[in-house]
Amino acid sequence: MKKQQRVVVDDREKPSGIPDMLSALGLRVDYRRLNVGDYIITPDTAVERKTLPDLVSSIYDSRIFRQAEELSSSYSRAIILVEGNMKKIRELTNNPRVVYGAIASLIMNFRMSVINTSTPNETAVVISSFLNHSLVERKGASMSFPKPRKSSESPLQQRYIVSALPGIGEKLAQKLLMNFGSPRNIFTATVGDLARVVGRSRATKIKNVLELESTEYDRKLQAKLTNDQ
């Protein structure tokens, strides 16, 4: 008789309905309170599931990078699964480049797989497929539940955040950080201070983008992100 496949699920995922869908697909679902990841597929494979609004929110507060570091340091195969219609990114942020840049950073810098699904049902099917195609021999193997590793924002992450500003690439991001010391100091600098490093035109564009965060539109956007989490 074929042994029932097992997936370990963070108990906070219950409201999503995905664990019930996995059970309906014939999988054995074991609930735990996981410190890292939402679904442990095999002892060396874990999935972090994010709805699209949560992904955007976690990029702006840098939470996604801490989670990526914990996942990639704890599992040799770490997967970020983004659930939602990617075409709606423009409804969640007025700077989609930040989101796509963060996804590129997860893939290139953290060596993570990033997969998009449209619905919770698709998510369940994808997770089930991971199990069906696992190359890991699981007989006698125990699931691992690592504790999150303490981490601080790395220079790489700082450069990524700054390089997402309009007209700023990797080289200018590094130059700004060398002059101002931190992303916070860059974001609070005056146009005149920024202009001395990147020129008046770029400085004005940067300030215009940063000041958009205080508009009524963005306050409503932040409220939407919070409510959708």
On average, the pLDDT of the chain sits at: 81
pLDDT at res. 142 = 54
Fold of the 6-132 domain: Rossmann fold (3.40.50)
End-to-end CA, the chain: 41
Q: Which residue intervals of the chain are DSSP H helices?
A: 18-24, 52-60, 63-74, 89-92, 96-108, 120-132, 155-163, 170-180, 183-188, 191-198, 200-212, 216-228
The CA-CA-CA angle for residues 171, 174, 175, to 5°, reads 85
What is 156-228's CATH number, 1.20.140.10, 3.40.50.300, 3.40.50.2000, 1.10.150.20?
1.10.150.20
Distances (CA, A) of 191 to 175, 177, 181: 16, 16, 17
Average pLDDT over residues 40-54: 93
* pLDDT bracket for residue 55 (50, 70, 90): very high
Cβ burial, residue 115 (10 Å; 0-12/13-18/19+): middle
Cβ burial, residue 187 (10 Å; 0-12/13-18/19+): middle
Extents of the domains making up the chain: 6-132, 156-228
Query: Which one-letter DSSP state was computed for residue 214?
Result: T
Average pLDDT over residues 107-132: 90
pLDDT at res. 181 = 86
